[in-house]
Structure formats: C-alpha cells, structure tokens
Amino acid sequence: MDFLNVSSPHTLGVAHLHDLTSQLSPFSRFLFVLQRSAVNASLRLSGLEYQRALRRPEEEATGANLSGLSHPFFLPGQSLVRVGGAVRQHLRIKSGPRRLRAAMRAPGERWRPAGAALWLLLLLLLGGTESVRRAQPLRRYTPDWPSLDSRPLPSWFDEAKFGVFIHWGVFSVPAWGSEWFWWNWQGEGRPQYQRFMRDNYPPGFSYADFGPQFTARFFHPEEWADLFQAAGAKYVVLTTKHHEGFTNWPSPVSWNWNSKDVGPHRDLVGELGTALRKRNIRYGLYHSLLEWFHPLYLLDKKNGFKTQYFVGAKTMPELYDLVNSYKPDLIWSDGEWECPDTYWNSTNFLSWLYNDSPVKDEVVVNDRWGQNCSCHHGGYYNCEDKFKPQSLPDHKWEMCTSIDKFSWGYRRDMAMSDVTEESEIISELVQTVSLGGNYLLNIGPTKDGLIVPIFQERLLALGKWLSINGEAIYASKPWRVQWEKNTTSVWYTSKGSAVYAIFLHWPENGVLNLESPITTSTTKIMMLGIQGDLKWSTDPDKGLLISLPQLPPSAVPAEFAWTIKLTGVK
C-alpha cells in the first residue's frame, strides 16, 4: 500500500505538483488543472482543525457518505471521518488487489513520488469519468405550472392504492355537527350550533376554551399504527392543521395554539410518524393553507388578497417547517379555495420541494394549491371530496371519503345509519382502483385519542378483504376494459400478464359471465383465496363462462367482492 503525504495542511506543494504533472499527458494535465481547485478546497483545513485532527489520530467515528457532494475530487465510497472533533478525509479507491489511500499528514513529511504519481493517475482516470457524469445537470423545476406539472409522480403512490385519512384537532372536543364546528357556530352563526353552545356550555365560552380539553390522553401511536397496518393501508395522512389553525405539532408560528403548548402537550405529528415508519407505512401530512379567523388572513382578505401578510408569517413558514422537521412522503394541501395560487406562493414552495427539500425525490402532493388548481395542477388530482370519475382519467387521481358519511372529524351525534357499510367501502375501493385511482378512507378519533370501535371494525374488515384480494389491488394497473355493466358488476385490474376480474355480486346460477377477456390455448382461471383452477368454457354470444366453486358460505373467501385471476387472456 502506498501513501500520498501532503506536505501542507492547506494545499498541495507547488514544486511537487510541477514534477508530477510534467509526467502526465497533455489531456491528463488539462483535466488535472480543471480539478485542482476542487482538490485544494476539499483538503483545506484551518490550522486549529489540523492540530485537533492530529491530536488523537486513533479515534475514528463513523462518518457521512460523500456521494452527494459536487466536487469531482470525491469518488463513490468516500467518507468524512471525525477525529478528535475535527474532520479528516479518507479516500479509498479499490483497483484490483491494491488499494490506494490518501490521508492528511503532519507538516514536514515528504511526498513519495511513486505513490503520488499513481494516485494522481487513478484520480484523473476515475475522477474524469465522475466529472463527466456529474457535469450532466439534474432536472430542476421552475416555479410555474408547466414545469411543475411535468414532474413524474413517484411510483410508490400509484403502487400503494389504499391509505387512511385522519381528521383530528380541537374540533374533536365539541364533536358535534362536523369538523367545521367553529365556522358554523361563529362564522355563519347557524342557529342549531348557537343553540348547542347555549345548552351545553356557560356564557362567554369561546372556541379557544376547547383547546385544553383536547387531551389525546389515550393516544397510543403504536396501537394506531398496528390498526392501520392490519387495515392494509400503505400510507396514512394526518391533519397537522385544519382551518381552525390549531397545529398538531409545536409550530414556531402558532404560539399557544398548538399541541405542545395546549391540550396534549405532545408532538402528535412526530409521534405518529415514528410509529408508522417502523412498519414501512408512508406518512402524509394534511395542511390547510387558510385559517378562518386568523387576524392576518382576515387583513389580507379585507385587502382583496393584494397583500400576503398571512402567507409570509404563517402559511409558508409552517409548510417549510413540516417538510424539514418530519420529511413527509405526501403533502395533502387544502383550504385553497378563496385565493389564487399566486396569493399562496404555491409554485415557489413546490419548486423548492421538488428541487432542494430533503424529500425532493419521493414526495407526492395533491392539487389544492389555489382556487384555479383543483383537477388541473399539482401532483395527483383530488378534484373534489369524494370524487368519482365516470371513465378512466388520463391523470393519476385519488378518491378521499369518510366512514362517517356526514363528517370528517369525530362527532358524538353520529348515528349508525350515518356509517358507511363494509360492502360499500370495498365496492368504492375496487371501482377507484379499476379506474386508476387511490382510495383514501377517513376516520375521526375522539378528543382523547381513541378510534371508536365502529371505525376499527370497518378498517379491519377492509384489511381482511385485502389480505385475500390485495394481489388484484396493490401495484395494479387499469386494464383495457375497466368494467362490465351486468348483474354481477365486474371491475377489472391488471398486473403484468395477469388480468383480475372483481365481481361484486355472486351470480345466482353459480356461473360468472365475462364478455371482455379473449381466451387462448394457455388460458388459466382461478379465484383468489381458493386452491386450484376453475372450469370454464366460451360461448359465441355470452363470451367466457366460469363455473364458480360450490362452497358453503363459511368456505367462501370473502363476504363481498370476489376476484377471478385470469392468465393467458387478451
């Protein structure tokens, strides 16, 4: 093993460099000149750092990978290693059986020309290639919709298909009517809300007085995460801040109106994120751009949104803080409808998010970034709550809906008839995925942090169905035909060479009729959850006829919606 000994802690010796470069070809010498400034900058240490680095050379802690640095001097596999509080550089280049290593040496030590020449040659050969690779600029997105809309959607989102939405905040304390309680009570002054307050709270009780009662006393993030995993959710979206302005994390610009200062005295966003990531569940953060009664927002509204006091002091600082603090996989924006995206500075934020944020490669966003954006701009499209397209859209989309048909937040006045049936949830999931969408199903926890049993039951029932039929859902793609309108209501998905026909109603005669698949000599048909192939035949008028298994109800793999897997069909 040879060593390159640097005679100065700051730069390479000029005389030695002249001797060495004179041995190089003109082209190699040219490359060396281009890279020399980067070499010098990379090796440069202050005198104090250098002395500290020499103090305890035997102490080496694990360092950080340098693969992301722009200097062409650094090659893949390098690391910065802390020694006695300073940073030493270790360069290891594997070349056949030999290994070359450059390290900082004490002043007065001489160069060893043979090792140095070999080091430089290897550097130029390998570093030149690296320079060419790094010279190709990464795609950067400018703060305008044509550029931002051209960004490919990270693949994990389309593969996930199913997520859980959580609406949780101070509105969970009155838990009456909906999560829009404050607006309905004091924004619109609806009589039933005013009557509710008179009947249940003392005179002078304000919405802020609900804050301390939002305790999250029984919030156990590990239990929540276990439930969502059992439900088959691949991502979870938590409200970090709804239109009331209360933040579920210690926002630096929401003094005394956040979950650390008031109520739980906990970082709810951070705690849930930690639990979810232990289970490899993607983490999304819902964030409302507007706040109904924030003085700065009301001032901007009074000024016809010609000023941006609220955006600069509240909205944008919070978004940047959320991204840098929690590194979300998804940002679910909302509360955009009163103002254009130019008021919100949405394109500037998104260009930073896509170019320079810590989640720039994996983050996904929706389309609620201004009153002109929904279903037109952003990442994937929500379009509107409970959006259901009638045909296959040409853009990735998501249907968000709630188990409680009339509220996103928990409400004490929910009736059993207000709860979406299990069969309807499964049907919506199947139809959504068949048309290329994701299904985001909402629950509203109580002020104490409990998920009520009926919500748990619905989630677990869906998880049970997905444990059998998930092959036809996760990472699937729309087929050439999305559905057949017949008595069995068949919806199609595909994955690779397999086609999946999910039928929502069991035919009375036990024979499933499919008109769209075209059989071949290699066609095989089976039902997910049942062993063995199914018998089938074709009819010139009816198409493919599949004989379903004759099973007692207890042996049927699911109560609702069954999946036929077809291979070797066109």
Query: Can you give the residue ranges of every domain in the chain?
Result: 145-472, 477-569
Q: In this structure, what token pair is assigned to residue 354?
A: 């896509």
pLDDT under 70: residue ranges of the chain: 1-137
Helical residues (DSSP H) of 236-359, grouped into ranges: 268-278, 295-302, 309-310, 316-326, 341-344, 346-355
Q: Which residues is 81 bridged to in the sheet?
A: 88
**367-386 pLDDT per residue, tens:** 999 998 999 999 999 999 99
Alpha-carbon gap, residue 287 to 221, rounded angstroms? 20
Question: Position 248: which residue type?
Answer: N
Q: Please determine whether the domains at 145-472 and 477-569 fall in the same fold group of CATH.
A: no
Angle at which helices 316-326 and 346-355 cross, to 10°: 20
Distance CA 550, CA 235 (A): 37
Query: Strand, helix or coil at 417?
Result: helix
Percentage of the residues of the chain whose pLDDT score is greater than 90: 71
CB 98 within 8 A of CB 1: yes
Assign residue 189 a region (left: φ > 0; alpha: ψ between -120 and 50; beta: otherwise).
Answer: left
What b-and-e string marks burial along 389-427, b requiring 16 or more CB atoms within 10 Å of the CB?
A: eeeebeeebbbbbbbbeebbbbbeebeeeebeebeebbb
CB neighbour list of residue 15: distance below 8 Å, 6 or more residues apart: none
For residue 47, give every residue at least 6 positions away whose Cβ sits within 8 Å of its Cβ, in sequence order, or none: 9
Structure letter (DSSP) for residue 187: I
What residues contact residue 156 under an 8 Å CB cut-off, 6+ apart?
282, 329, 362, 364
Cβ partners under 8 Å of residue 125, min gap 6? none
**Residue 94: per-residue pLDDT:** 33
Q: Name the strands in the sheet holding 162-166, side by side, starting at the edge strand that comes first in the sequence.
A: 364-365, 330-334, 282-288, 235-241, 162-166, 437-443, 397-402
Superfamily of domain 477-569: Golgi alpha-mannosidase II (2.60.40.1180)
Tokens of 144: 């305008």
What DSSP character marks residue 303?
T
- The highest-level CATH class for domain 145-472 is alpha beta
* pLDDT tens-digit series, residues 295-349: 999 999 999 999 999 999 999 999 999 999 999 999 999 999 999 999 999 999 9
What's the pTM? 0.77
pLDDT digits (tens, 9 = 90+) for 129-164: 444 444 455 789 999 999 999 999 999 999 999 999
Name the H helices within 112-189.
Answer: 113-135, 145-148, 155-160, 181-182
